[in-house]
Structure 1
Amino acid sequence: MTATPLSTAPQSPIGRIPVLDVEPLVDGGARPTKSVVGEDFVVTATVLREGHDAVGASVVLTDPDGVDHVATMVCTNVGLDLWEATVRADRPGMWTFRVEGWSDPFGTWEHDATIKVRADVDTDLMLAEGALFLERAAATPERSAAGAAVLREGVAALRDETRPPQVRLSAITHGPVHDELLGTPVRDLVSASTAYPLLVERELALCGAWYEFFPRSEGAVYDEETHTWRSGTLRTAAQRLKAVAGMGFDVIYLTPIHPIGQAAKKGPNNTLDASPEDPGSPYAIGSPDGGHDAIHPDLGTFDDFDFFVEQARGLGLEVALDIALQCSPDHPWVVEHPEWFTTRADGTIAFAENPPKKYQDIYPMNFDNDPAGAYAEVRRMVQVWIDHGVTLFRVDNPHTKPVEFWQWLIQDVARNHPEIIWLSEAFTKPAMMRTLGKVGFQQSYTYYAWRNTKPELQEYVEELATETAHYMRPSFWPTTHDILTPYMQFGGPAAWKLRAALAGTLVPTYGIYAGYELMEHVARPGAEEQIDNEKYQYKNRHWEDFEPGGSREGQSLAWYLRRLNEIRRAHPALQWLRNVTFHHVDDENIMAFSKRRVVPADAGTGAPAHEDVVIVIANLDPHSTRWSRVVFDMPALGLHPDEGFRAHDLITDQWWDFLRESMVHLGPDHEPVHIIELKRY
């Protein structure tokens, strides 16, 4: 009687040389791993084989044209099976990556020959086998002519019986022959993992500085006689662009510029008794003047918008627009497509709520009643703005809409416009924030505004730089038009400098909301947001008062933001996410971290390869000046533990001599943050 197995689980073939546990993958490879052009990232895998023969591994990146780029991996736990390689892609597009395991005949021979020749066991046989292997290796198709010549010299050395066996062997195990075989190894029994998707995007998807403003406030004028406001326009807002670009920002982000509904319009400070003169919230989108594909008449026309975009581009700024998929009761969609909203039992359309908060002026969209119609209309609307020069979208509360909708929309836009970048404003549970990143959002707001202590910040940044860096890129904002934490309300100028500096150095992308320069720290009672909030009224900040000769000259942090952005642009180490290392500081209120990057030579400019190392030391207590000892992880800085270095503070232009253990002095009486360029002696 034949025994029947209890179960036979379906399995994929394991391969002659098993390749397991490939990382970094997103949901097991169901969604693309992310990178940007020129960004280093580490691929790891477990690669093993039977017996004692040597094994090797390679990462193969396949570019959008189908061309393979091979990088040899190294075993990081020698004698065991964990392999890794640092790789990078050189242009945007959809790539794949796979790991190939292979038998390493040179490694096997080198190991055996070294032992046997030293012990004078089978010496002539081992040298002869080595010569035969080198002849084979020289003839492999991937070998260059120069490499083949080096290997043929090795053949001659192994067969030169006039020299001692150890000398003949050493000619192969050291020097040019050895280097050639390591650089272009002979790979037998090659076994490949699955090819996993790799989405390579432009650099701005990872690194950039955003500046947010409300266009209607830029150029708004208050009439003292009539006690009424005249809105700013896109033309007057364009006059502010020179100052924004002068501070070194890359992106100008506009809150919604669409017509605003009058039904249930909100008044100053979120009150329900708005007057006809109050502008209402720009997030209550839609009126008889149009919806999401229209411009508020007070702001101008599409010609004015095109002018704004043209002016921004001329100053090196890209334009981001807020996408808020919600409608005023006056929105044309409400009349034409009531099925795109939720109808309650009493026949009314449900307005937005976040109990106990109520947003009577906003109807959230419902994508389940007519998904085909709603999807298509949003896609059409997005294209309107792309056609007028918008290259980035900041999406309001995407976690309140179906994830599959965002996946579809972002992918569909990318078919013809892969340059478009999407920023997710989802202050919600971690699983949802991560999932939005996985399905396509290039950048994500984070919990940074509420992480203030050293343990909180270090733990969070280490998570962002390791666990999620291959699919969720963080954008750090110290404040927004919705967020003004107690730390910022009561921390004074030191807090405003500190939080900008940390946002701009801990991660590659950060953002500033207009008025940050002026340290607008007064909150609306009972809320963690600015009083007299621009969401509900106009605001003229009288920027001219802070210019040289103005009545408030010297009271702006514009110079600090300018210097921070200059530092970010000048130091490539700050333009990456995954390269952060934290260092020990005795004081629990002082945090130290570094970023290190090897910058390759630039053939275009002739600049040589060099190493860039930036150290940031920050006093997180904005109320006290503190002294403390810092203990640097010297290998993480590229230094020997006994070395010292010159420390150049890029904010104050001071210089110090630092050792592994050094003292620092930081606080509101001085500067709260050192941003240090490491200089070797």
Structure 2
Amino acid sequence: MDNPHTKPFPFWEWLIAEIRAQHPDAVFLAEAFTRPKVMYRLAKSGFGQSYTYFTWRNEKAEIEEYLTELTTTAPKDFFRPHFFVNTPDINPPFLQNSGRPGFLIRAALATTLSGLWGMTQGFELCEARAIPGKEEFLDSEKYQLRAWPDRAPGDIVEEITRLNAIRRANPALQSHLGLAFHNASNDQVLWYRKESPDRSNVLLVAVSLDPRAAQAATVELPLWEWDLPDSGALEAEDLMRGSRFTWQGKTQQIRLDPAELPFGIWRVRPAGRH
């Protein structure tokens, strides 16, 4: 629904209830970029998904603050965020000048932080050309038909395909809930845990927010979440690269290089437990 915040709330309450009475599987997505209270009121009116401020959250502190609001305060009970990395209307400044690594960073954040994510065609090809000074594509599909190739040099098609496969295989990534941010020594590295409701599926994720230079960080493994001592160990599977290893001890070192892969996703469990 385009700009639902410009229509009366009672209208949406009536319309959504009428349609769902006949089609209970209907999905209503609120394409609303407006004040938080208004976005939350739309969710309470029946919208099952909503656009969010994710598109403009790029720094570590603001990402953590926004996700903490969505996952630990009142909105967690009624607001289902849909993380779009771009839209036909929005070509985010971060993507305009960050190159291929920037697209990988935003794809990793969207696919691991929210149970719902979306993109406009061209994102997978790292399309970022903008009208100077504006958050708008230079050759916007709002005004013309474009024929997109299936692949292009330097695209991120394979990485997106892999991320979607990881999401399908891991219930922890099918919701924005089950999230906790943990300590990382570098303000350019976001380090967090995602878990399924029964904790049978637990992932650790690291994302560099710097698309230009390699970033290293000292991170804490949340061993306490399994009642393990600081000397405990976690078996880890690197879901992007396919390797397996053991993390021994609470403090670990990680390095993320935008020239290779600016993020990592590990499925973990206590060593020796099956």
TM-score (normalizing by structure 1): 0.39
1:446 aligned counterpart, secondary structure? coil
* Superposed counterparts of 1:398-413, under 5 Å: 398-413=4-19
1:181-204 deviation line (CA, Å, top 9, x unaligned): xxxxxxxxxxxxxxxxxxxxxxxx
Provide the rounded CA distance (Å) in 1 between the counterparts of 2:61 and 2:225: 20
Matched, 1:499 2:106: yes
CA contact (8 A) 1:626 1:667 kept: yes
Partner of 2:69: 463
Larger radius of gyration: 1
Question: Which residue, out of 425, 432, 442, partners 2:38?
Answer: 432
Q: Structure 1 514/564 Cα, relative in aligned 2: closer, same or farther at 3 Å? A: same
Matched, 1:595 2:194: yes
Partner of 1:423: 29
Matched, 1:673 2:263: yes
2:148 aligned counterpart, secondary structure? coil
2:154 aligned counterpart, secondary structure? coil
Provide the rounded CA distance (Å) in 1 between the counterparts of 2:197 and 2:72: 19
Task: Among all aligned residue pairs of Structure 1 and Structure 2, give the percentage whose two residues are the same amino acid.
Answer: 37
CA contact (8 A) 1:476 1:511 kept: yes
Matched, 1:490 2:97: yes
1:581 aligned counterpart, secondary structure? strand
Partner of 1:380: none
Q: State the AA in 2 paired with 1:422.
A: F
Q: State the AA in 1 paired with 2:166.
A: I
Provide the rounded CA distance (Å) in 1 between the counterparts of 2:2 and 2:139: 21
Question: Which residue, out of 143, 158, 165, partners 1:536?
Answer: 143
Q: How far off its partner does 1:476 sit? A: 0.3
Provide the rounded CA distance (Å) in 1 between the counterparts of 2:14 and 2:230: 52
Partner of 2:181: 582
1:612-646 deviation line (CA, Å, top 9, x unaligned): 11111011111110111001232336644331112
2:196 aligned counterpart, secondary structure? strand
Partner of 1:453: 59
1:483 aligned counterpart, secondary structure? coil
CA contact (8 A) 1:427 1:433 kept: yes
Q: Structure 1 661/421 Cα, relative in aligned 2: closer, same or farther at 3 Å? A: same
Q: How far off its partner does 1:506 sit? A: 0.5
Partner of 1:32: none
CA contact (8 A) 1:581 1:636 kept: no
Partner of 2:237: 648
Q: Structure 1 637/615 Cα, relative in aligned 2: closer, same or farther at 3 Å? A: farther
Matched, 1:561 2:151: no
Provide the rounded CA distance (Å) in 2 between the counterparts of 1:563 and 1:571: 12
1:33-92 deviation line (CA, Å, top 9, x unaligned): xxxxxxxxxxxxxxxxxxxxxxxxxxxxxxxxxxxxxxxxxxxxxxxxxxxxxxxxxxxx
1:110-139 deviation line (CA, Å, top 9, x unaligned): xxxxxxxxxxxxxxxxxxxxxxxxxxxxxx
Provide the rounded CA distance (Å) in 1 between the counterparts of 2:27 and 2:188: 36
CA contact (8 A) 2:226 2:270 kept: no
Q: How far off its partner does 1:598 sit? A: 5.3
Provide the rounded CA distance (Å) in 1 between the counterparts of 2:200 and 2:110: 23
Provide the rounded CA distance (Å) in 1 between the counterparts of 2:28 and 2:218: 42
Q: State the AA in 2 paired with 1:616.
A: V
1:266-307 deviation line (CA, Å, top 9, x unaligned): xxxxxxxxxxxxxxxxxxxxxxxxxxxxxxxxxxxxxxxxxx
Q: How far off its partner does 1:512 sit? A: 1.4
Provide the rounded CA distance (Å) in 2 between the counterparts of 1:638 and 1:564: 30
Partner of 1:617: 206
CA contact (8 A) 1:586 1:630 kept: yes
How many residues align? The count is 269
Provide the rounded CA distance (Å) in 2 between the counterparts of 1:504 and 1:625: 22
Q: Which blocks of at least 5 consecutive residues in structure 2 are unaligned?
A: none
Q: State the AA in 2 paired with 1:677.
A: R
Say which structure, 1 or 2, has more relative contact order (CA 8 Å, 6+ apart). Answer: 2
CA contact (8 A) 2:100 2:154 kept: no
Q: Which blocks of at least 5 consecutive residues in structure 1 are unaligned?
A: 1-394, 547-551, 600-609
Q: Structure 1 639/412 Cα, relative in aligned 2: closer, same or farther at 3 Å? A: farther
